[in-house]
């Protein structure tokens, strides 16, 4: 009789163990981990895209301002760019017409700045009225 009671106790403990929620959080986290990582990677890529747009706009503004006062337009546009974005294409035009323009074209890095860029570039345009020295 005593052996039977022990056997029933073991079965009921096994049933309770399989019915309990212990370890459920760990399993759910492992299931959600790829989704969380993908979301973080996509958010980081959006940050890099926005930062590249900001850098391109600032480089175009600086280049146009420098060209408006007769300074080197391309060097002014590249001066404040971080190392990973130094390969920006900066074109200046309009010197001598009264309105100087600057066009900047940059690649958006993929996850790590300086390694690989998206094939679709970010473009910015700026203009400034040419200043005449007195």
**Residue 19: inside a domain:** no
**Residue 121: inside a domain:** yes
**Residue 54: inside a domain:** yes
* pLDDT tens-digit readout, 32-58: 899 999 999 999 999 999 999 999 999
**Residue 37: inside a domain:** yes
The rounded mean pLDDT for the chain is: 84
**Residue 9: inside a domain:** no
* pLDDT tens-digit readout, 113-134: 878 878 889 999 999 998 876 5
* pLDDT tens-digit readout, 5-16: 555 567 666 666
pLDDT at position 18 is 65
Task: Give the 3-state secondary structure of residue 133.
Answer: coil
Are 118 and 107 a contacting pair, CB within 8 Å? yes
89, two tokens = 């294409």
Distances (CA, A) of 111 to 40, 44, 102, 116: 11, 7, 28, 8
Domain span at residue 72 reads 24-129
**Residue 57: inside a domain:** yes
* pLDDT tens-digit readout, 90-109: 999 887 788 999 999 999 88
Tally of domains in the chain: 1
Q: Does residue 22 register a pLDDT over 80?
A: no
**Residue 5: inside a domain:** no
- Residue 56: count other Cβ atoms within 10 Å of its Cβ: 26
Q: Which residue has the tokens 């212990």?
A: 22
**Residue 105: inside a domain:** yes
The count of C-alpha atoms lying within 13 angstroms of the C-alpha of 14, restricted to the half-sphere facing its C-beta, is 6
The pTM (predicted TM-score) of the whole model is: 0.74
Phi and psi, residue 97, nearest 5°: -105, -10
């Amino acid at each position: 009789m005593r052996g039977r009671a022990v056997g029933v106790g073991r079965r009921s403990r096994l049933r309770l163990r399989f019915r309990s929620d212990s370890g459920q959080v760990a399993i759910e986290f492992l299931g959600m981990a790829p989704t969380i990582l993908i979301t973080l990677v996509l958010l980081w890529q959006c940050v890099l895209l926005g930062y590249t747009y900001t850098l391109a706009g600032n480089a175009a503004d600086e280049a146009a301002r420098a060209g408006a006062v007769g300074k080197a337009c391309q060097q002014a546009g590249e001066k404040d760019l971080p190392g990973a974005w130094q390969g920006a294409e900066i074109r200046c035009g309009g010197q001598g017409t009264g309105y100087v323009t600057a066009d900047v074209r940059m690649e958006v890095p993929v996850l790590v700045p300086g390694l690989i860029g998206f094939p679709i570039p970010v473009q910015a345009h700026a203009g400034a009225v040419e200043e005449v020295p007195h």
